[in-house]
């Protein structure tokens, strides 16, 4: 059988002739994304065929011809020929930038897992909630560790925590491999509705968690066998997939989860590495569309005990919003879509080397640009996208209705026509199209509408919000000015925004170190007022109003 080698990761797979390059990449474990699951419409599986023969199946199969390398093709529309092939992935997720730190209140160290040395037998007993789990030879009391994990729709983070003193010893992050099969939560739900798809997504995420755990343990000098508990924080769909449960019910009304969390399960049957009798805790979810990552964020920000009015906004593929007023909480989930992650954007990419992550226009129209790792610009990630669109809005290059507006001068010089359509050149071959602007409009309008409707439900005005926590790995790289200039946040919140980082992970760490926090989280999850945006009669009107960008 022919062998396909994928660069730059230097991994390969043997496949039968006629198999698509996308299938070969998945078999090899190459970091090649296909958000449309091989339908040929997203364009994100673009690769360069550098040697070998492959047939393009975009046309009728009978007319398909052998492609002569080097040539750029869509991996999902190109099949392997009789000879070996070498393929270079055009936009690799290697060096993905993930901010894994998050704000957190202090907590007393009261872990669920404990050790007790018995001098008579010369062995150490391991207990959970005072319940006997097993024995270890010798005095192993100092070797008591756990994992705090955040399973994001896009990224994963795993940290090793010393359960004796609360120290974080090491942390590793990476791309959630499920993105190769489906980009957003709805895509994952659809893919996993069949048994084979569920097995694939479960296997992928468990394997990725284990890999990151292995790296973190190696750096910390901790044996995997001394990991006694893992806390998995993630949205409701991610919890289902990690537990190997079908999330199909989350995709249809009334969106009731099969799995509500607040339960500890043996780690080994889940496929997770750790001690022979180690356990995994799934924090409580709030609803089918507001998951344990938000519960963890509420705990990390101490919203239940914080006086006054506070807003927690987790900006990502899904925009979860929590409004707290003296302990009373209202929550909603806004389907922002993948634009904030750089997907569905013409030159969009992950926050990997070469991605524009900061963009500012000077008065003379010249650009100030920062890329991930300082590499030459290859595309634009979510934070750079929001900066760039906000700059265009601020300088009048984009009208409040979202249309390009070439106003003359240096800004107009960056406006160009491509196949009869206007686009704005950021730098080199990286540009924004009218469609890209529309994607940002839709995404920011979903979050803003959620904020407005929660304020209405709570009987509050925007100027009564005293502090805003912007949470999430992606949210940490945003800038208050861009959020306000886009209209994603109400203007009254200027000067009140705090970027809290990965509160899903920092909340998971609290659950790991402080057992009473779990009962508190379960109580909180049960009393949050959930706002169903899609079912709110005002949503359409508020959403349309939120589509407009602020006037220049």
Instruction: Tell me, rounded to whole angstroms, the distance of Cα 234 from its chain centroid.
Output: 9
**271 Rama class: left (phi>0) / alpha (psi -120 to 50) / beta:** left
Residue 96: pLDDT over 60: no
- Spatial separation of the C-alpha atoms in residues 227 and 532, rounded to whole Å: 39
Q: pLDDT at residue 228 above 90?
A: yes
d(CA 309, CA 127): 41
How far is 503 from 516, CA to CA, in rounded Å?
Answer: 18
- State the pLDDT at residue 91: 60
pLDDT digits (tens, 9 = 90+) for 332-379: 999 877 778 777 899 998 888 899 999 999 988 889 999 998 999 999
Q: pLDDT tens digits for 25-75?
A: 877 777 777 766 677 766 678 888 888 878 888 655 455 567 777 788 888
In this chain, the answer to whether the domains covering 3-89 and 295-337+444-538 adopt an identical fold is no
3 state SS of 390: helix
Q: pLDDT tens across 182-225, in order?
A: 878 889 999 999 999 999 999 999 999 999 999 999 999 999 99
Question: Residue 101 above 80 pLDDT?
Answer: no
Tokens of 498: 């705090």
Record the tokens describing residue 505, joined without a space. 């992970």
Tell me which fold the domain 3-89 belongs to.
Answer: Ubiquitin-like (UB roll) (3.10.20)
> Looking at the domain covering 295-337+444-538, what would its CATH class be?
alpha beta
User: CB of 347 within 8 A of CB of 430?
Assistant: yes
Confidence tier at 97 by pLDDT (50, 70, 90):
low
pLDDT-derived band at 448 (thresholds 50, 70, 90) equals very high
Give the whole-angstrom CA distance, residue 107 versus residue 503. Answer: 14
Digit-coded pLDDT (tens) for 113-164: 999 999 999 999 999 999 999 999 999 999 999 999 999 988 899 999 999 9
What tokens were used for 352? Answer: 């990997």
Domain map (residue ranges) of the chain: 3-89, 113-291, 295-337+444-538, 338-439
Average pLDDT of the chain? 91
| Tokens representing residue 170 in the block | 């090491």
Closest CA to 309 of 297, 324, 298, 299: 324
Q: CA end-to-end span of the chain, whole Å?
A: 61
**Residue that is written with structure tokens 């129209």 in the block:** 365
Mean pLDDT within 486-507: 96
pLDDT number for residue 363: 85
How far is it, in rounded angstroms, from Cα 78 to Cα 20? 5
The Cα 159–Cα 466 span in angstroms is 32
Residues 6+ apart with CB under 8 A from 134: 125, 126, 275, 276, 277
CB atoms within 10 A of CB 80: 27
Residue 419 phi/psi, 5° resolution? 55, 40
Model pLDDT, residue 117: 97
Looking at the DSSP bridge assignments, the partners of residue 115 are 126
Specify whether the backbone of 80 is left (phi greater than 0), alpha (psi in -120 to 50) or beta. Answer: beta
- Model confidence at 10, pLDDT cuts 50, 70, 90, reads confident
pLDDT in tens, 274-314: 999 999 999 999 999 999 999 999 999 999 999 999 999 99
> Cis omega (within 30 of 0) on the bond before 339?
no
Q: Does domain 113-291 have CATH number 1.10.287.40?
A: no
- For residue 104, name the pLDDT band (cuts at 50, 70, 90): confident
Residue 463 gets which letter from DSSP? G
Helix (H) or strand (E) holding 499: strand 497-501
Question: For the sheet containing 168-175, what is the strand order?
Answer: 168-175, 155-162, 145-151, 227-234, 279-282, 263-266
**Cα–Cα dist 225/244, whole Å:** 23
Q: Give buried/exposed letters for 498-509 (b at 16+ CB in 10 A, else e).
A: ebbbbbbbbbbb
Q: What is the pLDDT of residue 550?
A: 95
Half-sphere exposure of residue 311: CA atoms within 13 angstroms, side-chain side: 31
């Amino acid at each position: 059988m022919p062998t396909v080698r994928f660069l730059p990761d230097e991994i390969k797979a043997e496949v039968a002739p006629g198999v698509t390059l996308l299938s070969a990449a998945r078999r090899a474990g190459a970091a090649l994304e296909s958000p449309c699951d091989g339908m040929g419409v997203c364009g994100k599986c673009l690769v360069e065929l550098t040697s070998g023969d492959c047939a393009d199946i975009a046309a009728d199969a009978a007319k398909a011809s052998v492609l002569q390398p080097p040539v750029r093709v869509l991996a999902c529309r190109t099949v392997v020929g009789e000879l070996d092939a070498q393929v270079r992935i055009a936009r690799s997720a290697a060096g993905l930038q993930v901010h894994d730190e998050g704000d957190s209140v202090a907590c007393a160290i009261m872990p669920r897992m404990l050790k007790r040395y018995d001098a008579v037998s010369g062995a150490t007993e391991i207990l959970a909630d005072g319940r006997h789990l097993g024995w270890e030879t010798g005095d192993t009391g100092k070797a008591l560790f756990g994992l705090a994990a955040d399973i994001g729709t896009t990224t994963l983070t795993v940290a090793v925590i010393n359960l004796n003193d609360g120290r974080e010893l090491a942390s590793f992050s990476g791309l959630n491999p499920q993105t190769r099969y489906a980009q957003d939560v709805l895509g994952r739900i659809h893919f996993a509705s069949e048994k084979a798809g569920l097995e694939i997504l479960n296997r992928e995420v468990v394997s990725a968690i284990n890999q990151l755990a292995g790296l973190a343990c190696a750096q910390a000098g901790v044996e995997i066998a001394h990991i006694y508990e893992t806390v998995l924080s993630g949205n409701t769909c991610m919890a289902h997939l990690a537990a190997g449960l079908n999330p199909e019910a989350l995709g249809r009304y009334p969106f009731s989860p099969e799995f509500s969390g607040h339960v500890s399960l043996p780690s080994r049957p889940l496929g997770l590495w750790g001690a022979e009798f180690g356990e995994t805790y799934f924090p409580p979810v709030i609803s089918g569309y507001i998951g344990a990552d938000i519960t963890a964020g509420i705990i990390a920000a101490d919203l239940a005990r914080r006086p006054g009015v506070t807003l927690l906004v987790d900006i990502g593929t899904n925009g979860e919003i929590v409004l707290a007023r003296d302990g009373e909480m209202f929550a909603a989930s806004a389907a922002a879509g993948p634009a904030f992650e750089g997907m569905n954007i013409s030159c969009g990419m992950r926050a990997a080397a070469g991605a524009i992550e900061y963009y500012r226009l000077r008065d003379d129209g010249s650009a100030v640009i920062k890329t991930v790792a300082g590499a030459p610009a290859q595309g634009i990630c979510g934070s750079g996208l929001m900066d760039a669109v906000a700059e265009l809005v601020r300088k009048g290059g984009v009208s409040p209705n979202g249309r390009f507006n070439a106003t003359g001068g240096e800004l107009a010089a960056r406006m160009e026509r491509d196949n009869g359509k206007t686009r704005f050149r950021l730098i080199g071959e990286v540009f924004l199209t009218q469609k890209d602007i529309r994607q940002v409009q839709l995404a920011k309008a979903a979050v803003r509408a959620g904020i407005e409707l929660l304020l209405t439900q709570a009987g509050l005005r925007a100027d009564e919000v005293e502090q805003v926590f912007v949470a999430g790995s992606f949210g940490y790289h945003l800038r208050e000015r861009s959020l306000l200039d886009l209209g994603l946040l109400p203007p009254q919140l200027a000067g009140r925004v705090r970027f809290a980082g990965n509160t899903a992970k920092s909340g998971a760490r609290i659950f790991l170190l402080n057992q009473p926090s779990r009962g508190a989280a379960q109580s909180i999850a049960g009393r949050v007022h959930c706002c169903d945006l899609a079912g709110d009669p005002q949503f359409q009107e508020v959403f349309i109003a939120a589509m407009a960008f602020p006037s220049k």
